[in-house]
Structure formats: C-alpha cells, structure tokens
Amino acid sequence: MNKKLLDAIKQLSDVESFKDVCHQQAQNHPMPSVDVLGDIVQLIRSILFPGYFGNANVNSRSMLYHIGVNVEKLHSQLSNQIKAGMCFDSREEDKACSLMDNEANDKATQFISQLSTIREKLHTDVLAAFNGDPAAKSFGEVIFCYPSIRAISNYRIANALLKLDVPLIPRIITEMAHSETGIDIHPGASIGDFFTIDHGTGVVIGETAIIGNNVKMYQGVTLGAKSFPLDADGNPIKGIQRHPRIGNNVIIYSNSTILGTITVGDGAVIGGNIWVDSDVPAGAKIVQRK
Amino acid sequence: MNKKLLDAIKQLSDVESFKDVCHQQAQNHPMPSVDVLGDIVQLIRSILFPGYFGNANVNSRSMLYHIGVNVEKLHSQLSNQIKAGMCFDSREEDKACSLMDNEANDKATQFISQLSTIREKLHTDVLAAFNGDPAAKSFGEVIFCYPSIRAISNYRIANALLKLDVPLIPRIITEMAHSETGIDIHPGASIGDFFTIDHGTGVVIGETAIIGNNVKMYQGVTLGAKSFPLDADGNPIKGIQRHPRIGNNVIIYSNSTILGTITVGDGAVIGGNIWVDSDVPAGAKIVQRK
Amino acid sequence: MNKKLLDAIKQLSDVESFKDVCHQQAQNHPMPSVDVLGDIVQLIRSILFPGYFGNANVNSRSMLYHIGVNVEKLHSQLSNQIKAGMCFDSREEDKACSLMDNEANDKATQFISQLSTIREKLHTDVLAAFNGDPAAKSFGEVIFCYPSIRAISNYRIANALLKLDVPLIPRIITEMAHSETGIDIHPGASIGDFFTIDHGTGVVIGETAIIGNNVKMYQGVTLGAKSFPLDADGNPIKGIQRHPRIGNNVIIYSNSTILGTITVGDGAVIGGNIWVDSDVPAGAKIVQRK
Amino acid sequence: MNKKLLDAIKQLSDVESFKDVCHQQAQNHPMPSVDVLGDIVQLIRSILFPGYFGNANVNSRSMLYHIGVNVEKLHSQLSNQIKAGMCFDSREEDKACSLMDNEANDKATQFISQLSTIREKLHTDVLAAFNGDPAAKSFGEVIFCYPSIRAISNYRIANALLKLDVPLIPRIITEMAHSETGIDIHPGASIGDFFTIDHGTGVVIGETAIIGNNVKMYQGVTLGAKSFPLDADGNPIKGIQRHPRIGNNVIIYSNSTILGTITVGDGAVIGGNIWVDSDVPAGAKIVQRK
Amino acid sequence: MNKKLLDAIKQLSDVESFKDVCHQQAQNHPMPSVDVLGDIVQLIRSILFPGYFGNANVNSRSMLYHIGVNVEKLHSQLSNQIKAGMCFDSREEDKACSLMDNEANDKATQFISQLSTIREKLHTDVLAAFNGDPAAKSFGEVIFCYPSIRAISNYRIANALLKLDVPLIPRIITEMAHSETGIDIHPGASIGDFFTIDHGTGVVIGETAIIGNNVKMYQGVTLGAKSFPLDADGNPIKGIQRHPRIGNNVIIYSNSTILGTITVGDGAVIGGNIWVDSDVPAGAKIVQRK
Amino acid sequence: MNKKLLDAIKQLSDVESFKDVCHQQAQNHPMPSVDVLGDIVQLIRSILFPGYFGNANVNSRSMLYHIGVNVEKLHSQLSNQIKAGMCFDSREEDKACSLMDNEANDKATQFISQLSTIREKLHTDVLAAFNGDPAAKSFGEVIFCYPSIRAISNYRIANALLKLDVPLIPRIITEMAHSETGIDIHPGASIGDFFTIDHGTGVVIGETAIIGNNVKMYQGVTLGAKSFPLDADGNPIKGIQRHPRIGNNVIIYSNSTILGTITVGDGAVIGGNIWVDSDVPAGAKIVQRK
C-alpha cells in the first residue's frame, strides 16, 4: 500500500470525480441483475419448451407440478427484477421504491398470463426455421440449439414486458441475446409470426421497425434509422418513428442494410450486401450491381 | 398465488398447449448438455494443446499421466453425450436408449483415436494465423487467445464427430464457438489445412461448403446457399449440395458473400463487401465497383 | 480402457507429437487466466462506475472504504496477471519469473494511477452514446447495459496496459469484449474522446488505427489493413503502420470497410456497405452507388 | 517431478500395494455419494416440514405443486443412490448393476409411500422436544434448529430404508447426522414415538437397541453392547442381538452408559455418569454413589 | 410417475397432514438462513481478528478500508437476518414484517457498536487458552485453529444479540458452533473473561448458567438443570433459573456433570467423571471415589 | 451509514484495538487454508484408497495415470500449504518467506514418499475396525463411511507432517477430523497398528500419549494430562511428556479418563465411565464401583 495507491484511492473517492458516473440504488432494494435475468429467461424457456430446458425430465403426469412450481418461482423472481428496474429508473428515495411492490407484482402476473400466447408465436417461429433451413435435421434440434430461436424468444419476452411499461429490464434481456447470438433486436420492434433469421450474427432490428408475418432474414441484415430529427438543443428526439416497415413474406439476404421510415412491400426479395433507403414495391427483387 | 396465476398454470399445463414444443427424454438417460459439452471441449483443448489449457502445469515427465487421465475422462463424458444425442434424436423409448451404450462408447473411442491427427491439422492452422497476422506477437498468443483458433478447433472436433454419424452434438459444439466468436462454421463443411480467419465476427460457412488448403478469410465473409430445390411439399430438400467450393491459396476479404454451388479457383483473391454468385477463375482478383 | 485408448494416450504423449503445441509455464508461477481477468475487469468497472457494478450499495459516506478495498484487491490481482503475462511471454526459466514481481507490481501501480483519467474518458463516451441514440432512455441505462460501453471500457483499460509494455494481457482483455459484444478493437489502436459505436457487432478496429474525437460508428465497420509489407522470408512485418487515420467528428455507417494507411478528414460521413481504400477529404460524404 | 516422486508414483500404483484398499465400481454406474445423499436428506426435510426447509415460500395453494416436484425429484435421486448402494455392495460386474434399476425404483417408491407416516412420527418427536425443554421458545425453533430433530429425522429415514433392505445408504445417512450433531444412532435401532435427546453430543444408540415411547435422553448417553459372541474364527458374529431394551417413559441423564441385552423397565430414571449392565425394574431411580 | 407416487403426493399435500409442521414466512420477507448466518459469523471474525480470517491481506495502512467495507456489509446482512428472526417468530402477516425494518437496523447497529468490547473479551479468552495449554505453540495458532475459540466467539456474538432481544438468530449461531465443535453453549448463559475450554467435545452450558472469570473446563463437562418446575398443565416453565453458578478461577475436569441451581465457589477444582448436585465451597477439590 | 457505524469503524480500526489480535501474512505468500487442506486430505484419501474417494472410476490399467496426476497435484498444493504454515509461524518479512520454497518442496516430497507406508498402516486399522465391529457389513463400508477411519487417516497424515517439522498444518488437519467426527487426536501422539475407535465422539488423545498395537477405544475416552509443571513465570512448560502410555492389545470402554504419565500394561481392559490416574498392570480389568 504505497503512496501512489493511496493517492489513487483519494482521487477516485473524490465526489467530483465520481458524481456523474455513480449509481445509488435505494437501500435494501434490489439492483437489476444480469445473472438473475439470465436465470429468469432460462426459467421461462423451461415453461415454454418443457423438457428441452430446465433440469427435470417431464411427462404429462407431472407437467402440472413442474409448471406450477416454475410459474410461482418466475412470479417471485420477475416481480423482484421488475421492481429493480422501476427503482433504477426512478432514482427516487427508499419510500418510492417500497411502494412499487404491488405494481411490480401485477406486471409480473400480467406477463405470465401472456406466456401461453408467447408459446404459440414461438411455435410458429420454430416451424418457419425448420421448414426454411435444409440443414435443420429435426424440430428438436431447432428448439434446442438454434441461436435465432434464442434471440427471438428473448425478443418476444422483452417486447411483452415493454408493453407493460417495465423499464430497463426488456433492454437487458435483448442485450443478453445480442451478446450470445450477435442478433440485436430492440424490444420495441414489432414482429409478426413465422419469423426466421438464418445464422444471424450482425442482424440489427431497430426500436420502431415493423415486420410482417413469414419474414426471413440472413446474417448481417440491418433495419436501421437513416437520420434523426433533432430537438431544439441539437439532440436526437427520443423514441420517434425512424425504422423501416417490412411487409409479409419478405426475404432479405445477408449483410443488406434497410434504412429509414420506408416500406418494403409484401413478397419482396432483397439481395445481399446492398443499401436500401427508399420504398420497395410488393413482389420486387433487388440485387447488388456488379 | 392468485387466480390469474392459477389460470396461467392450468393453461400452460394443458396437453394441447405443450404437445408440439415439449421433449420427453427416455427416463434415466442423459439430455445433451451445453455445459457438459463446454467441459468436453475444454478437456479436448487441454489434450491437444497441453499446458495452455486445463488447470495443471505440464512437463515431459508428467505428460503421460495427464494425457492418460484426461483421455479416460474424455471417453467417459463424451460417450455419455454421444448417447444423449442418439437418444434425443431417436425419441424412442427407454429400451432403445439402453442399447446405445456400446455404440456410443465405440464412437467416442474412434473419435479419440483421431485426436492426434486433429492436433496436426490445428497446428497448421496456428502456423497460418501466426504467419499471416502482423499483430500476432507469439505462437503462444495465437493458441491462447485467438478466437479463430477456438472456432476452427470446435469445427474440426465437430466435423470428426459428424463423420462418425453422431447426431446433434456436432452442431451444439459449433454453435458454442459461434456464440463465443461470431464465427458460424457448419460441422458438415470440409476444410483443408492452414486455414485462417482474421477477426472472424459474422463469418458463415455452410453445410456443404468445400475449402482447400491455405485459405484465408476475414470477418463477415459468407459461404452460403443461393437457393434450395424444393420437394413435392414445397419444403427445401435437406442436406443437398448447395454451397461454394473454394480452391487452395484463396483470400476472401471482409463482408463478402459467396453464394451457391460455384467454384472459386486456386489462388483467387476476392475483395471486401462484394456479392459473388458465379465461378471465379484461378488466380483472378475481384473487387467492388466504386 | 481398451487397447485403442491406450494407443491414443501413447501417441498423444509422444514428445514429437506435442512439442510444438505445448506450453510449459515456469513452476509455481501463474498462468494468465481468462477467468481472473474477467474478475479484474469487473473490479475495475466497480471502481470506475460505483454502484452500477460490484455487489455493494455505495453512498458518499462509504465510498472511500469501497474504493480502498477494491484498489488494494485490484493491485494484488492485476500484479499477478501482469507477471503471468510476462512469464508467458518470456518462456524463460523459474528464476527469471521470480525476478518479475517488482516490475509487475510497479506496472499495476502505474495503471491504477491512471484510472481516474480513464474514468473521465469513459464519461465522455457515455455522454456521446446517450446523446447520439434516440433509443437511449437514461444515462444509467447506457452505463449499465450498452455493449459499446463494455467494449470501449475494455479497450481503454487494455490500451493503458499496453502502453506500460504489459504483454498478452491487453489482448486477452479486448478479446473478452470481442466475444461478448462482437466488437474487436485492438489494444494498440489510438482512440479519442466521445467515441461511440452503435449496435457494434462485427466492428473491427486494427492495431495501428488512429481515431479522433467525437467519432461515431455503426455495426460491421472495419478499419483494416490493405496489404502487409513482407520481410525477406516472405512473412508480414510485425507491428508496422497499416491502418487508417480517422479525423474528428466523423460518422461511418454500418458494414463499411476502410482499408489501409489512408486518412478520413474531419467531419466526413461514410455511408453503409462501402469499401474505401483511398483518402477521404474533410467534410466529404460518400455513399454506395445503386 | 523428481525421481523421488516418480518412485512414489510407481510404488503407489503397484497392484500389490493397492489391491486390498481399492474399490472398482461397475463402469457407468454411480458411486454412493455423501453430497447427493445430503441433498436427498434436505429434499426429504423440505417435503416433511414444508416452508422450514427448501428455497421456496409455500402456501396451501401451491403446496401440491411443490410436493409433486419434490417427490418426483426425490424418487429419481433416491433410486439412483439406492442402486449405487446395491452396486457397491454387490461388487459384481456391469450386468448385475444394470439389472438393479427396477428394484431400486421400487424401493424408492415404497420409501416415499412411507413419508407421510414418518412425518407423523417426527411430529411427535418435535412435540416432545418442545414440551420437555424449558429453553425451547417456539415450535418452529425446535424444527428449524434443534440438532436432535436433525439426528432423529435422519435415523427415521435411514431406518425405513434399512427395512427395505437397502445396503450402505442408511448408514451413510445416520453418519451424516452423527458428524453434524455428535449423535450416533444406528439405522437398525428401533425407536418409539415422542423420542427426545437433549443437547445430544456423544449419544450412541447401537444396532439392536429397542426404545419405547416417550423416552428422553441427555448428551453422552450410550446404549451399547457389553460383549460379542465370537464365531469359530474368533471374530464377532455379525448382527446378533447385543444392546439394551428401554421401556416407555424412561429418562436417562447425561453421560450414562447402558450396556448389554438388559431391560430398563417402564418409567425408570437413570442418573448421570453411571454404568448400568443389569436389568433395571420399572419405576426405579438409579444414581451415582458419591 | 406411477400411481403409488401420485398417491403419496396427494397424501403429503393434504392440509391435515402438513398443517402442524409447516411454516409460512410472510411473502417477500427473508427466512433465517444458516448459510447466511455462517457468512455473517465469518465476517464478524474477519473484523475481530483481522488477517486471520477473510480473504484479504491486511496492514495498518489499509485496515480502515477493510473494516469500513466489512462493517457496512455486516450491517446490511445482519439487519436482514435479525428481521428474518423477528418475522419467523411473529408468524404475523406481511405488514407486520415490513414494519420491522427500522427495529432490525437499529439492533444491528447496536450490536456493531459492541464489537470492540467483544474483541477485548475474546482477547482474554485467547490469552487464557494460550497460557493454559502446553500444546499451544503460538498465539496465532490459538486464534486460527482452536475450536474453543470458535465456540466462545459464537457464544459471545449470540449473547450480545440475545441481550438486544433478537429472537431465534442467537440460538442458530450457537448451534452452528455446537455442530462444528461439539461445544453447546446456550446464548443465554453468562460467562466472564479469560474463559477456556480444552478439547471441548460434549461440553454443555445451559441457558441460565453463570460463570465467573478465569474458569477452565475440559471436554464433556455439563452445567445442566436438575429438574424443572412444572406449570399447571404439567409442562416445564420456560426460562426459569435452573443451572449452576460457577465462581472465579474454577477448574472442571473432563466429563463431569454439575447440576441444578447450586454454587461452585471461587477457586474450586472439580475432578473428572463426577456428578455434582450440591454447593461446592470455595477452594474445595472434589474427585471421584475409586 | 450513520454516525454510530462510522464510530464503530473508527474504533475497530484503531491500532491499539487490533494490534494484539491481528495477523499480517507476508505479502504474496499464502495463508494456511482450511478449505485447501480439506481438498488436500481428500486428494490423499483418493491416492490411498483408490476408487472409494475422488471423482474417477479406477481400474488397474488406468491406475498409474491417476496416481501420477494426483501425486503431482498433491505435491504442488501441499508444498504451498507447508510454506504457508512456515510463513505463518515465522511472522518474518517477505524475504524469509520467499526462501522457504525449496524447504517446503522437500518436505512435501518426503511426505509423499511415506504415503505407501501410511497406506499399509491404515490397512491394518481398517482390518481391526471390520473384525471388531459386529455392525460392520463389509470392508468397503468401513473405508467409505466409518468416522474413525477418517479421524485416524487425518492423524496418520498429520503425524507424518509433524515429524517433518511442518508447523501449524498438522494441527489444522487433526482439527478438521475433530470437527467432523468428534475425535480429537493430537498430531504429536504416537499410535501403533490395528488401532480402532468405535463411535468415537468425545475421544481425546493428548500430544504426548503413546499407544501400542491392536488397541481399541470407545466414545468419550480421554488420554489426558493430570497436571502441568509450571515454568518460572507460572505458565505450563510447553511440549513436556504428560500423557499416558498404553500397551498392546488394550481395550478402553466408553467415557473413561486415563490421566497423567502412567502406563497401562499389555492386554489390560478398562471399563466405562471411570477415572484412572495410576499405573494399570498388564492383563488387569478395571471397572466402576456400583
């Protein structure tokens, strides 16, 4: 413990030095936790796809017990993390946090009521991946090891939480999938049924993107913003519509970039490695010039 | 535990609701496990590159003991996971699974017999990475921290297992590397010696791609399929040849996409950000038009 | 333990077979450890951004204690890993390693003396990310869950260590972020303040790249080398200048590739999916031809 | 790795040296595991005393789910350990072990069918401890932290398993309690309802001891054997009756030793620190001579 | 999942079957936890005996930081467990538990204010153990590995908490030491300075025992109750004075039993294996008759 | 963090307050660790009794590999802990600790050279336990779950280390067994072959006790010191001979206390609950007076 270290400690503990990059969570209230949210996503997957995930063998006789215990555990852990997100966001004092318990419990309950619908939607995504990929050997292989199913699961979970006005948590959940799969879907995007992403690394789907049913994308595709309207202070206006609307039955090949509030019509096919920033009519095929 | 939660439990436990997305592994037989396969890959790395991986210091006097213990442990764990893959795939009842022990043991033994050859091939990949990258400071640095070596190791392991007709497990092993490195090599691809991938994120090498010796690729390169022949039901035919054949001594720069059953001749150089869907003659250089 | 396995053990333990791919760390001296370096990065983050990371609630009264304990712990762990990197690199015998303790301690101390400056720089990066992204809901959200902040933090830490001539460790630290975020920044690159990367997957910033202040990049952007001068033996010359120089206030859109020792002038805007291998004047806007 | 170590390895690996102290479990069949049995006992406690043990909050609405999941998990883990005990004991080859699955499953099922009775018996033990100890503040305190309840629980579990002819496992379960509490009850002993042990350290209850209802013991009490009949080879005859029979409503104070196949009559009181090796009539009070 | 198991589940979930042996902690409020209390005791030891316990090296320059962080962590964890004990005891509904936060925080603070006094007392115990045991090689050895110091530490901690009217937690803390050392000291006992117990297994010190300064005991000594006054219902009256009072400078040899509300005068010596149930005058020596 | 806590921190960090109860280990040198020593004992058991302990199945073909790896690992871990004990004891500065590496390595090597002899001795203890206990069902049961074997193993290990002048570590190893089994054997005691302890809780065998071959003891037996000669300062003289010498073929029944430098002759039998402080002739039988 020499003088240099003691000086560094002093400097780093100086209020001026840390005040803008420090977070003080209300005492006794939980921080959002990437580890706990990882467990929560794993728990949701074990409810949605019984037998594929979770530690237990399942069968139809014992299904009720497993779902019962997992739903109760999910409700408890998720309420906690929803509250953690609300506290984190509010930056208010203890009292405010303590009052959030009921609201957090309610949101967790509402989310759980939607799990059955989320399961149905994911079922369509699995079907689309299996049917669309000549390399897919079995239905189970798709559920068990396709990164796109992981990314889309996290998105559908996060999207449902965002619609319940849960702050922060949805973004953490999609970033977990982003880190794991290289697929970055903003929880605010709107995505139809039978959605597939092949390979997936580098895919970006922005906050206000809208995607129809039966759409297929390849690795490296971006649905991005072209430019952001600025506010009076010269900063981008938050949350404004700025991403493309993709119709039904569209295919977008690898590494293409679709930008701005344009519309890609039903049944369009967009080739690889191209840059699209104006509307694409229904049924059109666009490819890179050689 | 209010009524809404009880309703959700009931709904999610309904046979109609889960029957298509549920997996029932034969009782007492192992599920394939990403965690265990992670340990297995780590164990194989400690056998292939002694001293770099694994917890123990090694020296030539104690090498035999370490290899002996690690090979025995590998055989036991790998047999188990191979059997798990076979059970998962068969979806058959208990009896079938119990009978797979011998076959799984044999496949694990055959795989282990090939480890010495796999080590030789990976040695050429390490040499190529070290020689080809001005940022590589030492041979050890390449083995110890280059993501491409990790991805190619997993591919070479998975490819050997696939050739032994092991189901599911090879794909999980390459997906582990995909998640870790952003490099997605299908275990079915065929890849020669002295193979290197620089940076690597976003690389995709499809199931039926064939790559010669001494090939170098950069990040974002795709060796993909252009279109899939459909069967009578309108679904893609599984496993059909649909990816490029790359010759010896080829370089492919970043973010380029090579599609379909085309051939890229020996010594060709393909520039970055381009889309190639027809044969490239030996020695040719292709670049993006400005 | 049948004959095939015994043969494999014999073959894999043969000195000829392992001598080129084996590492023998000096006895009793630590190996570099990805796990320990993960803990170290986590510890540094808890010092730089108090309250966001680490397990403890902080407040201004207890800040000094937390910083004190964390700095002491960091010094001890980091000295150890710096020494591990030096031993790994030297490949020398025990004695040499034992003598490295003091030098490693000094480097760790010098690094810690710079943490306060690193915190200031990262503060500018957080500001730039918050201001530049319409989807960013709060300052805390950016620090807590943006992958770009993670990647840039690891880069700034690794860059400081590299400047102190610490071998191997800096590269491991940036590769950890590469794996987690898909953003590959070489520790040798030089990057100014207010730097942001949106989405980030597939970004590559080479060893000798130089980036000014207030630069923004999107996913898939490469700052790469065009070709490497070879030495007399036909191998690339290590460490030579070979990457672009990017001015201040530059924006580079997704999936573009900037190659070679060119200069992109202040205020330039480079569109998506394009390949740039010659100088770009200040204020220029370059886009893909349709 | 110097010569001395190499010599030691050689010596310790010599068949003559290890053949009598080595155990070879049939391949792929589990070893009995103190850790797993610890988890099993914990699981049984969470079934018997819901809410006190196990990680979950319980309530009457969710009780069925928790019991269901825990019973299924218990059946699976316990079948496995019962089989492990049977394999350990049989020392037979693989085939024999494989055939034990059904028998082990049956024994586990029979044990689980008795859990409700075991719960009733333990309830009487808890009542006796609470009523008999002026220091016991609440019923919950007794269940949650009295070592005697732990020791008696393990005994009642082990005794039920022993009666099902499960080898080895019962002894391991009582030794776990012995280690934790200093109370050594052989699983073969027969013990009535409302049994309490105060403090408990040093208590020994032998294999063929028989204890009535409503008996109370203090620390250091031994119910032991006086002498063992020898067989023709001069070795003790295994399993023969050799311990005392204790009537109902008996109290035995600390550190007393009751030896041999004697009978202590109903309602007798035996003072501390004494040695008893002949019958004690009902209602008698025995104390140490000063 | 056969019928027998389903029946067992039904039976064990029946309200009548579990209602008396089930605990329902108020939702969202912590259960007392033996694991957490183990961590708390470890934390207290690292504060009381810096450098012997806890993971960090300490020195006088960094002591303040370590004590600061440890005290803050202790306050947070201990408040939580104190509250858990209060909730457990109250068996009241949620609201009651929520209101206990302040009281629990206060009690934790008061306890921490006494740590410095507890350290002084334990220092005298360490001195007595070192001076009194010819086998003690160093002061550090006594602190680091003598079970008696562990048991007396837990007692002194528990006793301080009990005096602050903390329910349940003190008993759990002394039972932890009981399990580890075989020494069972009730937290309600009153024990002077310079207290030592040699070997210790089997020692029992009852709830209302009073022990002077400079007392030494050996293994197996009991300070117990002789009989309990019964209340109108025939149950022992809780908490009544019923254990011996031991003067200063007393030695009690192994396995002796001192019973009832008697007084052992200053300087008395009680030999081994004897039973004492009447007053012992100051300076007397009592031994077993041969 | 209120004022009371800040005051407590200040008080507890005051040099006067901690200087006598604080340990400062030389920087970068390991502390003795109960956890690591637990692993070391487990490792030694897996070498001594192959197949019973440790995670791997063993067979004669793979024995050499397992013993080789385990011996190397043991040497490394044990050297480290021996050095830790030497540093702890010396309380000297860094330099002194650094110089202890060679000596610690040598002691570890010498210890390992004796493992084969220790195995032989323990084999006799296992035989004695099996032959002497009618409840012992198999040889394997004795090795795998008898607490006496655990305690005697730790003693024989600790005794060998003590004879090599290793400080502190031997005592920690016997205290680990003391905690687990309630059997407290000082590492300095001298114990012959075929030694058994039945049940064992409360047994104490002092530092200078000498025990012949084929001795059997029951729970609660003490071989203790009667009185200690004092030095000029009134403190006991360390390490002086003060415990009994027990001949061959002696049996000592439960809870008896043998005190002082007396001799118990060959073939003597000492009954339970008695106090012996004078010589016992060979072949004598002593019992408690009624």
Question: Tell me: the pLDDT tens digits for B126-154?
Answer: 999 999 888 888 889 999 999 999 999 99
CA F90 to mean position of chain CA atoms: 22
- State how far residue F58 is from chain E, nearest Cα, in angstroms: 33
**Chain A interface mutation, best of D62, D72, D76, highest count of A Cβ atoms under 10 Å:** D72
Most confident of A41-50, B223-232, C17-26: A41-50
Contacting partners of chain D (3+ CB pairs under 8 A): A, B, E, F
Q: How confident is the model at residue D209 (pLDDT cuts 50, 70, 90)?
A: very high
Q: Give the closest of E57, E66, E72 to C62, CB-based.
A: E72
Give the position of tokens 């890179």. A288
Residue B264 DSSP one-character state: E
DSSP string, A229-245: -B-TTSPBPTT---S-E
pLDDT of residue F256: 92
Q: CA nearest D236 in F: which residue?
A: F134
Of A112, A116, A196, nearest to A151 by C-alpha is A196
Of F219, F158, F165, nearest to F191 by C-alpha is F158
Domain A28-183 listed as CATH 3.40.50.970: no
In this complex, is the C-beta atom of E138 within 8 Å of any C-beta atom belonging to chain F? yes
Give the span between the Cα atoms of B198 and B214, in whole angstroms: 13
Q: 10 Å Cβ neighbour count for A42?
A: 11
ipTM: 0.93
| Per-residue pLDDT at E158 exceeds 90 | yes
In this complex, is the C-beta atom of D38 within 8 Å of any C-beta atom belonging to chain E? no
Q: What is the dihedral of CA C20, C26, C29, C30, to 10 degrees?
A: 0
- Classified by CATH at the fold level, domain C29-181 comes out as serine acetyltransferase, domain 1 (1.10.3130)
| Per-residue pLDDT at E93 exceeds 70 | no
pLDDT of residue E65: 95
Is F274's CB within 8 Å of E287's CB? no
pLDDT of residue F12: 95
Of D251, D183, D249, nearest to D220 by C-alpha is D183
Is C6's CB within 8 Å of F59's CB? no
Of A215, A283, A207, A288, nearest to A249 by C-alpha is A215
**Chain A interface mutation, best of C126, C255, C269, highest count of A Cβ atoms under 10 Å:** C255
**Chain A interface mutation, best of B275, B276, B279, highest count of A Cβ atoms under 10 Å:** B275
Contact B205, B185 (CB under 8 A): yes
Q: What is the mean pLDDT of residues B193-217?
A: 97
The bridge status of strand D210-211 relative to strand D245-246 is parallel
* Chain F residues touching C76 at Cβ < 8 A: 28
pLDDT of residue B13: 94
Listed in sequence order, the DSSP H helices in chain D are: 3-12, 15-18, 34-48, 63-90, 94-98, 101-113, 115-132, 139-145, 147-163, 169-181
| A243, two tokens | 């991403």
Q: How confident is the model at residue B91 (pLDDT cuts 50, 70, 90)?
A: low
Of A252, A170, A255, nearest to A214 by C-alpha is A252
Give the span between the Cα atoms of B58 and B126, in whole angstroms: 21
Burial of C262 (0-12, 13-18, 19+ CB in 10 A): middle
Which of these ranges, B125-134, B280-289, C31-40, E94-103, has the smallest mean pLDDT?
Answer: E94-103
Between E16 and D228, the higher pLDDT residue: E16
| B107, two tokens | 């496949």
In this complex, is the C-beta atom of B63 within 8 Å of any C-beta atom belonging to chain F? no
CATH of domain B28-181: 1.10.3130.10
Name the average pLDDT for chain F.
92
pLDDT of residue E94: 57
Q: CA nearest D17 in F: which residue?
A: F116
Q: CA nearest D58 in E: which residue?
A: E24
pLDDT of residue D249: 97
DSSP, collapsed to helix, strand or coil, labels residue B215 as coil
pLDDT of residue F94: 58
Give the span between the Cα atoms of F229 and B154, in whole angstroms: 71
Q: How confident is the model at residue E88 (pLDDT cuts 50, 70, 90)?
A: confident
Q: Give the closest of D4, D21, D207 to F123, CB-based.
A: D21
Burial of B122 (0-12, 13-18, 19+ CB in 10 A): buried
| Per-residue pLDDT at F28 exceeds 90 | no
| Per-residue pLDDT at C92 exceeds 60 | no
Q: What is the mean pLDDT of residues B262-284?
A: 95
Summarised one tens digit per residue, pLDDT across range F9-20 is 999 999 999 988
| Per-residue pLDDT at D91 exceeds 70 | no
Could you give the angle at the alpha carbon of A124 between the alpha carbons of A118 and A125, nearest 5°?
Answer: 90
Q: How confident is the model at residue C135 (pLDDT cuts 50, 70, 90)?
A: confident
Question: C3-12 and B101-113 are packed helices; what angle lies between their axes, rounded to 10 degrees?
Answer: 30
Q: How confident is the model at residue B220 (pLDDT cuts 50, 70, 90)?
A: very high
pLDDT of residue A65: 95
Give the span between the Cα atoms of F70 and F77, in whole angstroms: 10
Q: E185 vs E171, E178, E240, CA distance in Å?
A: 9, 8, 17
Q: Helices (H) and strands (E) in chain F — how many of each?
A: 10, 14
Q: What are phi and psi of D65, to 5 degrees?
A: -60, -45
Q: How confident is the model at residue D94 (pLDDT cuts 50, 70, 90)?
A: low
DSSP string, E26-86: PTTSPPP-HHHHHHHHHHHHHHHSBTTBSSS---TTTHHHHHHHHHHHHHHHHHHHHHHHH
Q: How confident is the model at residue A4 (pLDDT cuts 50, 70, 90)?
A: very high
Give the rounded percent of residues in chain C with a pLDDT score beyond 70.
96
Give the span between the Cα atoms of F190 and F162, in whole angstroms: 11
Name the average pLDDT for chain D.
92
Residues sharing a CB contact under 8 Å with residue A99, sequence separation 6 or more, in sequence order: none
pLDDT of residue E157: 98
Of C201, C190, C83, nearest to C147 by C-alpha is C201
Give the span between the Cα atoms of A165 and D103, in whole angstroms: 55
Residue F206's identity, in one-letter code, is: G
| A156, two tokens | 């559908």
Q: What is the mean pLDDT of residues F229-258?
A: 89
Is D57's CB within 8 Å of E25's CB? yes
Summarised one tens digit per residue, pLDDT across range F146-188 is 999 999 999 999 999 999 999 999 999 999 999 999 999 999 9
A28-183 against A189-290: fold identical: no
CATH of domain D26-181: 1.10.3130.10
Of C150, D56, C144, C151, nearest to A85 by C-alpha is C144
**Chain D interface mutation, best of E154, E172, E204, E288, highest count of D Cβ atoms under 10 Å:** E204
Q: CA nearest C64 in E: which residue?
A: E65
Could you give the angle at the alpha carbon of A200 between the alpha carbons of A197 and A205, nearest 5°?
Answer: 75
Name the average pLDDT for chain B.
92
Q: Give the closest of C28, C59, C101 to F1, CB-based.
A: C59
Summarised one tens digit per residue, pLDDT across range A273-282 is 888 999 999 9
What's the pTM? 0.94
Give the span between the Cα atoms of E186 and E173, in whole angstroms: 10
Q: How confident is the model at residue F98 (pLDDT cuts 50, 70, 90)?
A: confident
pLDDT of residue C124: 97
Q: How confident is the model at residue A95 (pLDDT cuts 50, 70, 90)?
A: low
Between F219 and C290, the higher pLDDT residue: F219
Which of these ranges, B3-7, B235-239, D180-184, has the smallest mean pLDDT?
Answer: B235-239
Q: What is the mean pLDDT of residues A53-77?
A: 89
pLDDT of residue C183: 98
Q: Hey, which residues does B246 pair with through a beta bridge? A: B211, B264
| Per-residue pLDDT at B239 exceeds 90 | no
In this complex, is the C-beta atom of F69 within 8 Å of any C-beta atom belonging to chain D? no
Between D135 and C110, the higher pLDDT residue: C110
User: Residues 75 to 114 of C: which have CB under 8 A from any A CB?
Assistant: 75, 109-110, 112-113
Q: CA nearest A256 in C: which residue?
A: C273
Q: What is the dihedral of CA B245, B246, B252, B254, to 10 degrees?
A: 30
Which of these ranges, C132-136, D214-218, F171-175, has the smallest mean pLDDT?
Answer: C132-136
Contact D175, F147 (CB under 8 A): yes
CA C183 to mean position of chain CA atoms: 9
Name the average pLDDT for chain C.
92
Summarised one tens digit per residue, pLDDT across range E248-282 is 999 999 999 999 999 999 999 999 888 899 999 99
pLDDT of residue C196: 97
Summarised one tens digit per residue, pLDDT across range A155-189 is 999 999 999 999 999 999 999 999 999 999 999 99
pLDDT of residue A92: 56
Q: What is the mean pLDDT of residues D216-242?
A: 86
Q: How confident is the model at residue C95 (pLDDT cuts 50, 70, 90)?
A: low
CATH top class, domain A189-290: mainly beta
Q: Give the closest of F56, F64, F73 to B56, CB-based.
A: F73
For chain F, what are the domain ranges? Answer: 28-182, 189-290
Of F214, F211, F216, nearest to F124 by C-alpha is F214
Is D69's CB within 8 Å of A69's CB? yes
CATH of domain F28-182: 1.10.3130.10
Q: CA nearest D72 in A: which residue?
A: A62
Contacting partners of chain E (3+ CB pairs under 8 A): A, C, D, F
| Per-residue pLDDT at A67 exceeds 80 | yes
Give the span between the Cα atoms of C58 and C69, in whole angstroms: 13
Residues sharing a CB contact under 8 Å with residue F239, sequence separation 6 or more, in sequence order: E134, E135, F207, F208
